[in-house]
Structure 1
Amino acid sequence: MEAIGNGVLFFALLLAALTYGYAALSRRRRYDPPLPPGPRGLPLLGSLPFLRPDLHAHFDRLARDHGPLFSLRLGSKLAIVVSSPAIAREVLRDHDAVFANRDVPAAARILSYGGDAEIVWNPNGPTWRMLRRVCVREMLGPAWLDAVYALRRLEVRASVERIRSRAGSAVDVGVEMFLATMNAVTRTLWGSTLEEGDERSIEVGREFRMLVAEITELLGRPNVSDFFPAVAWMDLQGIQRQMRVLQHRFDQIFEEIIEMKKRKKQRGGSGEDFLELMLRLEKEGGDGKTPFTMTNVKALLMDMVVGGTETASNTVEWAMAEIVRKPEILRRVQAELNSVVGRDAVVEESHIFRLPYLSAVIKEVLRLHPALPLMVPHCPSATCVIGGYTVPAGARVFVNVWAIHRDPEIWKDPLDFRPERFVGVGEGGNQSWDFSGNDFRYLPFGSGRRICAGMVMAERMVAYMVATLVHSFEWQAAAEGNKEAAEEDMEEKFGIVMKKARPLVLVPTPTLAREDLYS
């Protein structure tokens, strides 16, 4: 009887504890802030059927109805969209550590060797910090960029020579800038592993262009596997299968280049490029705390090739499109270049630090046309309160930089291309507009610990290429049209990287004093 009595007492205590716990949980839930407001979706599908192709602009329109922080259900995923500087500050600075992780798309996980071997998708932690330290300190810092400037210069001058050979004919600026950027990035990565003029080098270059174009297209394509992770294994659209083929081909190319680099080093090659540095680190096993593997080597190469080409070349294309349609801006950039460089010399990267108006032009381009309009989505590791609302752990958080950069409450005449807003005292009295991410009204490269690792290189490359194009040639639209046609030519094509909907085709006319300056 005593045992029965003890059992009844234990059961009663357990029931009381559960009842108390449930009541406490109910009270806590009752007082927890709600989810951010947002559109009501359909059962199971949420807002998926109502999404528009121009996702950045679609989110901007929803923000006008639901506020600068709203939520929407995308299949089984909860998306949170941030559209104001104040809330962006909460996400990217006040709660930076919580939001420093990624919700890795299925296709990106395949491309990035599992999502935990490189910088972009790697979760915040020791491995990510080690990889970022390797890249920023060893490759993407000012000292390293200065050391390998000759390699970038070689590719920019080669581009000028190609354009000169087509003077008077139509040139697809985006294609030409992609080629120059890709060559500059790959030369920076592995120097002269592939000899100049070598047929294999040309073949690899063509294949890189094709692979990067296909990869960025797949990354920007809506994928059922991301909205319903439970069925990701089925790969209903075949996106993962296609990405696996592309990743395997890139992997083969990287292995070939790595083997060539190892053979060249054994023959006593001088100097150390970024690939050699990574191979040395891999051989040593890492930094003593975190291992550095061959997978890390190839994943970082993938980051640089895919992430460093499309973004920079598209920004140059947008810059040329804006400059050419505004003759007064073009003339002012030309006058500044003529004053600093002159017509009897060529632009050097060192000149760009003495071209304040050109710098303002680049900043204005990145305001109107940020390379990643929604940034790389963040994913909170813990539930937290943002802007008075609950943002659950595991949500996919978009920071709509495109909308912030076009907010009329922040920017005067936000749709006008006016570089003057970045000259001297900026709008709102800001005298220090830069790319650091400290002013949350202007975030072309993001902010916080996940700010773009390639920011310094991108800033240099874009300014150097735009300065060279404007200084070396006079540019004219291939087909002069009416004002409506000119406005249509500035239409955007949303994707993982913001592109022009229509290629920029211009006709160049040489302007330098001597023919040998084009060689």
Structure 2
Amino acid sequence: MLILFPIIYHSSYAKRHKNIPPSPWKLPIIGNIHQLGTSYHRSLWQLAKKHGPVMLLHLGSTPVLIASSVYATREIMKTHEFAFLDRGEVGILKKLTYNGKDLALADYGESWRQLKSLVVVHLLSNKRVQSFQRVRDEEIALMMDTIRETCGTVVDFTELFLSVVNGVLCRVTFGTKYRDESFLGMVEEFKKLVVILSAGQYIPWLTWFDRLRGLNVRTEKVAKNFDDFLEGVIEERLRRNKDESTFVDYNMFEQEKYFIDILLEQQKEGVNNFQIDRDTIKGVILDMFAGAADTSFTALEWALSELIRNPRVMKKLQQEVDSIGQSKPEISEEDAGKLYYLKAVIKETMRLHAPASLVIRASLQDVKVMGYDIEAKTRVFINLYALGQDPAVWDEPEKFIPERFMDCPIDYKGNNYEYMRFKGGRRGCPGIHFANTLMEVVLANVIYKFDLVLPNGERGEDLEMSEGNALTVHRKNHLLLVASPRAF
């Protein structure tokens, strides 16, 4: 016993003298859960204003480090990147994505690196994205026809943007569109589930409460429905590919392969001794819909909302689009690449309305951040909303000013820690080019062809801008506008 005393004393002394980040006052058992509010990113930003850019919260029994400044983010994402490469246990979302067998939630390691390489090289390379231009053109043309047919009446642009993004993604992933209510319903239920705070995740002995409120049943139902759907799609593609392989040389049509065909090929052939299984294929497909689709659609509805509220910006953007379009039938992807003010509008939109407001990581080891001692297995939330609102970085951060991104080196690649809209570092989103290409050409064509106003003579500056709570931070209410053809 006497031998153990110095060890116990030293451990206790070390723990007492660690430099722990400041923390808000917490309640027994639930910790700081009651302070999160309905909009996690906004609640955390308000707490950071009181307690500093690095603070430690306790969600139940789980310690969570909150980073709300450029300096803290840089230390986490760059200086100590290898200490924060895991996503950590993320409850419901992990159950919905085959226990983290997808790209977004898989633990960092050799399998994850091989999977990311496969996705970057074979699915989302610039060459592959360009190969689907025909699909984007056709889906955008359908959207434009819908707007023309409804000119003078109220148009739901939230539904339009959701339809065009899902249409493109379905076609490049599966080779066909799925517009039946059951599929769209699964997607929407998935988005709602992943932001529900699971009591059992943070307070293990309250797992019974999740069962009582039906959360487990809902999660299992959505997971099974998605799994059944994806299994059916995969089996259909295997049968079709087997039938067509007797007379079609796929090498002749390399650029027209769909994502699901490429994934099935990689499963069959393997790369560098890396073999993906059926669950990984389904997990990657879910990533496409949960990541690329929702981010693109959310950014589009916020961008158009901000343009309606800011007629000066709308007029300036239309002048730029007109100068490039020069009365052509539509704005092509090549044209969109020359629209620098449009790019600034989208960047400014995503600064104010980060689609995914929190980057979630977990510490793999004890590490220091901004001089504070962070223990292994601490959850980490980087508040992207706070980074976009920081007055130390942005002049008049609450205002929509696209000009701040003109002739500005800040990009989406994750090297600018004040602006990480597609995450960054080794776990950065590989779908940047896919999402940007689609967003730019959709918004450019809508602005080019139509004048847009709020219904019933409402003023643009009065447009309601409340946020909804789902996988991404989208509008709470649908964006309803009246379109009229522009005169050239």
TM-score by length of 2: 0.93
CA radius of gyration, larger in: 1
Tell me the residue number matched to 2:30.
45
Q: Is the 8 A contact 2:453 2:460 kept in 1?
A: no
Distance change >3 Å, CA 144–CA 163, structure 1 → 2: same
Structure 1 residue 291 displacement after superposition: 2.4
Partner SS, residue 361 of structure 2? coil
The answer on whether the counterparts of 2:340 and 2:406 sit within 8 Å (CA) in structure 1 is yes
Q: Which residue of 2 aligns with 1:276?
A: 261
Q: In 2, Cα distance between the equivalents of 1:413 and 1:222?
A: 33
Task: Write the letter of the residue equivalent to 2:7.
Answer: G
Structure-2 separation of matches of 1:483 and 1:328 = 11
| CA distance in 2 between partners of 1:236 and 1:228 (Å) | 15
Does residue 441 of the first structure (1) align with residue 418 of the second (2)? yes
1:186 is aligned to 170
CA distance in 1, matches of 2:313, 2:421: 22
> Which residue is equivalent to 1:223?
198
1:254-293 to structure 2, matched below 5 A, reads 254-268=230-244, 270=250, 271=253, 272-284=257-269, 286-293=270-277
Deviation at 1:458, TM superposition (A): 1.2
Determine if contact 1:106/1:232 at 8 Å carries over to the other structure: no
Shift of 1:230: 4.5
Aligned to 1:456: 433
Q: CA deviation at 1:166?
A: 1.0
Partner residue in 2 for 1:139: 123
Q: Is the 8 A contact 1:344 1:512 kept in 2?
A: no
Residue 36 of structure 1 deviates from its aligned partner by 0.9
328, 332, 346: which one pairs with 2:312? 328
Q: For residue 418 of structure 1, report the CA deviation from its aligned partner.
A: 0.4
Q: How much is the aligned-residue C-alpha RMSD, in angstroms?
A: 1.9
- Cα deviation code 1:152-171 (max 9, x no counterpart): 22111111111211111111
Residue 305 of structure 2 aligns with an amino acid whose one-letter code is: A
Matches within 5 A, 1:381-396: 381-396=364-379
Name which of 295, 299, 303 aligns with 1:315: 299
| Residue in structure 2 matched with residue 103 of structure 1 by the alignment | 88
- Inter-partner Cα distance in structure 2 for 1:109 and 1:102: 10
* Most deviating of 57-66 and 226-235: 226-235
| Contact in 1 for aligned 2:123/2:262 (Cα 8 Å) | no
- Preserved contact between residue 152 and residue 188 of structure 1 (Cα < 8 Å): no
Letter of the aligned partner of 1:505 in structure 2?
L
Letter in 1 for 2:45: D
Aligned residue pairs total: 478
**Higher mean Cα deviation, 228-237 or 341-350?**
228-237
How big is each residue's C-alpha offset from its partner over 1:202-245, in whole Å with a ceiling of 9 and x where there is no partner? Answer: 43xx3332222111111112221222134437634322321221
Percentage of matched positions with identical amino acids = 27
Q: CA deviation at 1:480?
A: 3.1
Q: Indicate conservation of the 8 Å contact 1:85/1:441, yes or no.
A: yes
- The one-letter code of the counterpart of 1:243 is T
> 2 CA distance for matches of 1:484 and 1:159?
26
Aligned equivalents of 1:51, 1:23: Cα separation in 2: 36
Q: 1:156 aligns with which of 140, 143, 146?
A: 140
CA distance in 2: counterparts of 1:19 and 1:112, whole angstroms? 47
Determine the structure 1 residue equivalent to 2:389: 406
User: Is the contact made by 1:152 and 1:187 (CA closer than 8 Å) also made in structure 2?
Assistant: no
Q: Which of residues 125, 128, 132 in structure 1 aligns to 2:109?
A: 125
Residue 325 of structure 2, aligned match among 318, 341, 363: 341
2:215 and 2:327 map into 1 onto residues whose CA distance is 50
* Pairing 1:83–2:68 present: yes
The answer to whether the Cα contact below 8 Å between 1:126 and 1:290 also exists between their aligned partners in 2 is no
Within 1, Cα distance between the matches of 2:162 and 2:185?
11
Could you tell me how far apart the structure 1 residues matched to 2:133 and 2:231 are?
26
Cα deviation digits, residues 352-402 of structure 1 (max 9, x gap)? 211100000000001000101113x11111121111112222222111110
Partner of 1:500: 475
Q: Deviations over 1:265-293 (max 9, x none)?
A: 12325432221111111122x32433210
**3-state SS of 2:56 partner:** strand
For 1:483 and 1:259, locate their aligned partners in 2 and report how far apart those are by CA, in whole Å: 49
Partner of 1:367: 351
Alignment of 1:506-517 (within 5 A): 506-511=481-486
Q: Report if aligned partners of 2:290, 2:471 keep a CA contact under 8 Å in 1.
A: no
Q: Distance in 2 between matches of 1:255 and 1:469?
A: 37
AA aligned to 1:179 is S
Within 2, Cα distance between the matches of 1:354 and 1:49? 48
What do the CA deviations read for 1:316-360 (whole angstroms, capped 9, x no partner)? Answer: 000001112211211111111111122232111122211100000
Tell me, in whole angstroms, the C-alpha distance in 2 between the residues paired with 1:264 and 1:252. Answer: 18
Contact 2:39 2:469 in 1 (8 A): yes
The one-letter amino acid of 1:63's match is: A
Matched residues in 1 for 2:219 and 2:36: separation?
24
With over 3 angstroms needed to count, the CA separation of the structure-2 counterparts of 1:236 and 1:394, relative to structure 1, is: farther
CA distance in 1, matches of 2:481, 2:222: 32
Query: Any residues of structure 2 matched to 1:463-478 within 5 Å, and which?
Result: 463-478=440-455
5+ residue gaps, structure 2: none
Task: Give the secondary-structure state (helix, strand or coil) at the position aligned to 1:102.
Answer: coil
1:253 aligns with 2:229: yes
Q: Which amino acid aligns with 1:460?
A: T
| Counterparts of 2:4 and 2:373, CA distance in 1 | 26
Q: Does the alignment pair 1:207 with 2:191?
A: no
Whether the 8 Å contact between 1:56 and 1:494 is mirrored in structure 2 is no
Aligned to 1:244: 220
Once the 2 structures are TM-superposed, how far is the Cα of residue 113 of structure 1 from its aligned partner?
0.8
8 Å Cα contact 2:156/2:480 also seen in 1: yes
Q: Distance in 2 between matches of 1:106 and 1:240?
A: 11
Partner of 2:400: 417
Change (3 A) 1:253 1:30: closer
Q: Is 1:479 the counterpart of 2:460 in the alignment? A: no
Counterpart of 1:65 (choices 43, 50, 75) is 50
TM-fit CA distance, 1:90: 0.4
* Matched letter for residue 224 of structure 2: H
CA distance in 1, matches of 2:6, 2:41: 46
Query: Which residue is equivalent to 1:427?
Result: none
Compared with structure 1, are the counterparts of its residues 207 and 156 closer, same or farther at alpha carbon in structure 2 (3 Å cutoff)? Answer: farther
| Residues 67 and 73 in structure 2, CA contact (< 8 A), matched pair in contact too | yes
Whole-angstrom CA distance in 2 between matches of 1:50 and 1:85: 23
Q: Secondary structure of the residue that 1:43 maps to in structure 2?
A: coil
1-structure distance, mates of 2:448, 2:16: 64
Q: Secondary structure at the match of 1:475?
A: strand
